[in-house]
């Protein structure tokens, strides 16, 4: 591809810089007002959340964590109880035994096969 020089009739760009046209009514006050309103709405939402929603214990296993730290139960017993609680929560009391056993097996296999979960289970025994 051949690049040619500009013709002598083309306008020169080496003069004074061209000034951009001014934007009418841009004092910045409307932007600042918008930020203030957004901050007020955020603060209002945060204070409202604290009154309505209260933090819940982690999946109902905090008592198992305390028993584990106190040495009342072994890490494997804690895992078994967590699996039982998950099954009760997700399946309910009236679930067929075959479904319950199948899901329990799948959960235990996931705990053993997944590297991250297996590391967490091993860490229970070291604490």
Q: Provide the residue count of the chain.
A: 127
Specify the number of domains making up the chain.
Answer: 1
Structural domain boundaries, residue 109: 62-126
Q: What is the pLDDT of residue 37?
A: 78
- Domain membership of residue 56 (yes or no) is no
- Domain membership of residue 1 (yes or no) is no
Residue corresponding to tokens 């028993």? 67
Q: What is the pTM of this model?
A: 0.50
Q: What is the pLDDT of residue 53?
A: 43
**Percent of the chain having pLDDT more than 70?**
66
Regions in the chain scoring below 50 on pLDDT:
50-57
Percentages helix, strand, coil for the chain (3-state, rounded to 5) are 60, 0, 40
Please provide the average confidence, as pLDDT, over all residues in the chain: 76
- Domain membership of residue 39 (yes or no) is no
Q: What is the pLDDT of residue 115?
A: 92
- Domain membership of residue 32 (yes or no) is no
């Amino acid at each position: 591809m051949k690049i040619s020089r500009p013709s002598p009739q083309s306008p020169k760009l080496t003069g004074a810089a061209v000034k951009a046209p001014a934007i009418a009514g841009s004092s910045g006050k409307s932007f600042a007002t918008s930020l203030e309103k957004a901050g007020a709405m955020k603060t209002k939402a945060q204070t409202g959340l604290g009154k309505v929603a209260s933090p819940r214990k982690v999946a109902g296993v905090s008592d198992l964590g305390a028993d584990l730290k106190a040495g009342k139960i072994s890490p494997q017993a804690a895992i078994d109880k967590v699996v039982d609680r998950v099954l009760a929560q997700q399946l309910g009391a009236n679930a067929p035994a075959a479904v319950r056993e199948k899901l329990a097996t799948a959960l235990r296999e996931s705990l053993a096969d997944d590297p991250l979960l297996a590391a967490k289970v091993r860490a229970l025994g070291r604490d």
